Structure 1
Amino acid sequence: MTLAQSHRLPSSGNKWIVFVLIGLVLGACSPKLAPVTQKPVTKPVESKTPDVKVTPKVVAVHTSTVSLILPFELNKLDLSSAATSANLSRADLAVGYYQGFKLALDSLTAQGYNFKLQVFDSNGDDSQAHSLAGNTKLRTSDLIVGPVFPEGIKAFSTAMHGINKPLISPLSPAAPAEFKNNNLVTIEPPLEYHAWRIARYIKERLRPVKVFVLKSGYSDENKYILPFKKAIDSLSRKRIQVVYLTVTKGNLSAIIPQLSTSAQNIFIVPATDQTFLAVTLAALDKLNKTYPVTVFGHPNWYKSSFLQATLLQRLKTYITVSDKVDYNDDETKQFIKAYRDAYHLEPSDYAIKGFDDGYYLGTLLSTDTEAFKKLDKLNYLGLHNQFSFIKTGNAGWVNTHVSIYQYQNFELKPVE
């Protein structure tokens, strides 16, 4: 059994909407639709700040201008019979996110708010993102959402220097320190917060004497390994030893003398390479017959279809997740129905994220002029994740909420 794949928006169903979007680039006011409500956070997550119920309360008639910068790539789009799903992948992302975001604003509009939604095509190009920063309509917006890719954010952010207004990074988990923008709001938790979450869980729940970090040799894994080491040292006051091993062809013999036959042996595997994981996880499975094994994997494992749930369950595998949707949840069902009614399509992951972002940001924009200065006090429970922000030094606000899941009955179940 493989990891369950998230619902995807069919590419063929999106071709018609691209033409509609061309007419929306200059902006449009949201029409009133039946509201799709969201629930507030009931308990702070990774935060000691009080919860604030994000429920709209109309205080004055004001039109808030929101600008979306998304990679529709209309200049590159191939709509011929020879078009492939790869040709439409970024358009799928942009269309799905836009439709979800707009549905959220429509819901808020039905409750008495007013929005002007402006849509800009970044063409997935850094120079275009930089150029858009000079657009007067965009610069005078109350809120700017996008670009979505790290290099585009960097190019746009640099050109927007001196403009003091919120800039939302909606989909990229890139470390915000790369952009050095104090107005940036990073919604997708960067990898370091996954590492910290795992370190805290290990220290508080499992309390091992040592943990083993299995490396493939790729330097990219340090983006996970370094913050994990820093976190586990800090939380345990260096009482938990971290043992590193660069694994070649599944050879784990070097650490066998250090393993326990009675207690769980904790392995951190930050790799995502398919070949490496196939060999290394098989070696751990063999080891598990004598030495109890518990594995903590990279968050990208969640959507890696080549990983077998039966194997991961035998290895007592944990995975951190920041965007898992519960399709049995009543509010998720309500959103899906509203989305189908509005667009006659199934919502993609990007549509769900767009809705969460639009509802949260639209509510803050309309109800509290100081909201973007105190996001740490405005937690929110969405359809795909919770928002629990902290303020960084000079890189704006970062959502830190990460959930931990473990394989039980051959599927991922929330641990906490």
Structure 2
Amino acid sequence: MTSVRNHQLQLSGNKWLFFIGIALLAAGCSPKVVPVTAPAKSNAASAKKEPEKSAEKPASARVSTISMLLPFNLDNLNGGQQYTAGTLSRANLSLDFYQGFKLALDSLSSKGYNYKLQVFDTKDQPSEAHGLAYNPAIRTSSLIIGPVFPDGLQAFTSILSGSGKSIPTVSPLSPAAPSTIKDQNLVTVATPLEYHAQSAAQYIAEHYKPKKVFILKSGYSEENNYIGPFKKGLDSATKNKTKIIAPTIVRGQLNGLIPQLSLTEENIFVIPATNQAFLMVTLHSLDSLAQKYPITVFGHPSWIKFNYLKADILQRLKTHITTTERVDYKSPAVTAFIRNYRKIYHTEPTHYALMGFDEGMYFGGLLGENPDELKKLDKNEFSGLLNKYNFEKKSGLGWINTHVNILEYNNFELKKVE
């Protein structure tokens, strides 16, 4: 059974409030993916006649309390206020994630697990998240999901961890480095950038064994968040035998690198940039060089979202991109999820709904089976509809998902190579 606790949803004529209010209030009565069958009642006479037979195994008496802290921004629905494009986007994100997570708990309820899901609005304000850390209902939870964004998460965990509470606190969506939060109870689900960089370095070392690797920089300091772990990973994988050449490229000028290029061996270029103007010019220049030199490119994981990057150029450059998320829409499990989501919520599931479902199945399943399993995440790998979880424990940083896929352009689409 899943019950949902709601907090001060003030009704008005606003369409959005109606939608969120209905979602949160009615979710506790929503249909289950697999309906729960109550144990059949038996009277004393029937029990005496067949003592060797028992009714269907009853649901566990244990109720797992989960607190979910999401930025619904419900205050924007009050009279005289309104959503901006940004706050509306985050409210949409919150609702989609909540619905996917709730659907997972309903599915797990068929195993006899019991949950109480408490939903809180962080209002996308660190001060609100800070205040929620003092809430007794949250402090007595078995599991906390959220806050979503790093500043709110940091404000929340700084108080909760200081109280001596050891409640697993899941960062459900953000790949921000756990070092920015520094909480031993933190569970980071979205693989941080450093693991993407290290995975790319490991793959390059194993599959190409290059004598040198070119890192093309745009000059923005944020690229160091990728470059540092990549260099460390490559040095470790090659025992410092691969030379790293890292020039800052201006206006796509690559002529200075030509004397160092090989005509016979693959020239590996790593591009940690996300700036559109830089990428458009630099990739065009590399495409010109590729007419004479064998070139393979490894890009930033954000590239998978950039529609302006041209697939034909990326394919000619044998471009690789790291990612943690991959959906097989032909999978029976994905098809079943989409069908059930449509039936219950009368809308199409989004990326965030899939994330919510995966996290609900994983953490809800561990809680339902044995809450102590939350202390052994490294022993509990998981393959979901969208993502895979391969957690490792880092001292002072909590649990971190390290799973990364390597994708390569093939027939003008990204396909998994590892």
Contact kept in structure 2, 1:339 and 1:347, CA below 8 Å: yes
Flag the 1:104–1:390 CA change in 2: closer, same or farther, 3 A.
same
CA displacement 1:197-249 (0-9 Å, x = unmatched): 10110011111111000000000000000000000001110011111110000
- Distance in 1 (CA, whole Å) between partners of 2:362 and 2:178 is 20
Q: Please give the root-mean-square deviation of Cα atoms over the aligned residues, in Å.
A: 2.2
**Identical columns (%):** 50
Bigger drift between 59-68 and 346-355 goes to: 59-68
1:16-415 paired onto structure 2 within 5 Å: 16-21=18-23, 23=25, 29=28, 33-35=32-34, 60-77=60-77, 86-161=86-161, 162-415=164-417
- Distance in 1 (CA, whole Å) between partners of 2:353 and 2:79 is 22
- Distance in 1 (CA, whole Å) between partners of 2:256 and 2:383 is 45
Flag the 1:365–1:215 CA change in 2: closer, same or farther, 3 A.
same
Higher Rg of the two aligned structures = 2
Paired residues in the alignment total 382
1:108 match: secondary structure: helix
Contact kept in structure 1, 2:59 and 2:114, CA below 8 Å: no
Amino acid of the structure 2 residue aligned with 1:150: P
Amino acid of the structure 1 residue aligned with 2:169: L
1:257 CA displacement: 0.6
1:325 CA displacement: 1.6
- Distance in 2 (CA, whole Å) between partners of 1:171 and 1:79 is 31
- Provide the residue aligned with 2:3 in structure 1: none
CA displacement 1:375-407 (0-9 Å, x = unmatched): 111000001111000000111000000101000
Flag the 1:150–1:215 CA change in 2: closer, same or farther, 3 A.
same
Greater helix share, 1 or 2? 2
2:197 match: secondary structure: helix
- Distance in 2 (CA, whole Å) between partners of 1:285 and 1:15 is 51
CA displacement 1:231-282 (0-9 Å, x = unmatched): 0001110011111110000001121110001111000000000000000000
1:155 match: secondary structure: helix
Contact kept in structure 2, 1:211 and 1:242, CA below 8 Å: yes
Flag the 1:409–1:211 CA change in 2: closer, same or farther, 3 A.
same
CA displacement 1:62-82 (0-9 Å, x = unmatched): 1111110001011124899x9
- Distance in 1 (CA, whole Å) between partners of 2:344 and 2:299 is 38
Which runs of structure 1 show a deviation greater than 3 angstroms over 4 or more consecutive aligned residues? 12-16, 21-24, 28-32, 57-60, 77-80, 82-87
- Distance in 2 (CA, whole Å) between partners of 1:22 and 1:332 is 24
Structure 2: unaligned runs, 5 residues or longer = 1-13, 36-56
1:372 CA displacement: 1.8
1:260 match: secondary structure: coil
2:75 match: secondary structure: coil
1:30 CA displacement: 6.4
Amino acid of the structure 2 residue aligned with 1:306: Y
- Distance in 2 (CA, whole Å) between partners of 1:329 and 1:250 is 42
TM-score, length-scaled by structure 1: 0.88
Bigger drift between 215-224 and 200-209 goes to: 200-209
Contact kept in structure 2, 1:14 and 1:95, CA below 8 Å: no
Amino acid of the structure 1 residue aligned with 2:250: T
Contact kept in structure 1, 2:76 and 2:83, CA below 8 Å: no
Flag the 1:29–1:314 CA change in 2: closer, same or farther, 3 A.
same
1:294 match: secondary structure: strand
Structure 1: unaligned runs, 5 residues or longer = 1-11, 37-56
TM-score, length-scaled by structure 2: 0.87
Contact kept in structure 1, 2:71 and 2:122, CA below 8 Å: yes
1:22 CA displacement: 6.0
1:137 CA displacement: 0.7
1:29 CA displacement: 4.9
1:88 CA displacement: 1.8
Bigger drift between 317-326 and 89-98 goes to: 317-326
- Distance in 2 (CA, whole Å) between partners of 1:294 and 1:78 is 54
1:167 CA displacement: 0.5
- Provide the residue aligned with 1:46 in structure 2: none
- Distance in 2 (CA, whole Å) between partners of 1:141 and 1:374 is 18
Contact kept in structure 1, 2:272 and 2:300, CA below 8 Å: yes
Flag the 1:29–1:136 CA change in 2: closer, same or farther, 3 A.
farther
1:59 CA displacement: 8.1
CA displacement 1:337-363 (0-9 Å, x = unmatched): 010011000001000000000010001
- Distance in 1 (CA, whole Å) between partners of 2:17 and 2:328 is 28
Contact kept in structure 1, 2:59 and 2:112, CA below 8 Å: no
Flag the 1:84–1:165 CA change in 2: closer, same or farther, 3 A.
closer
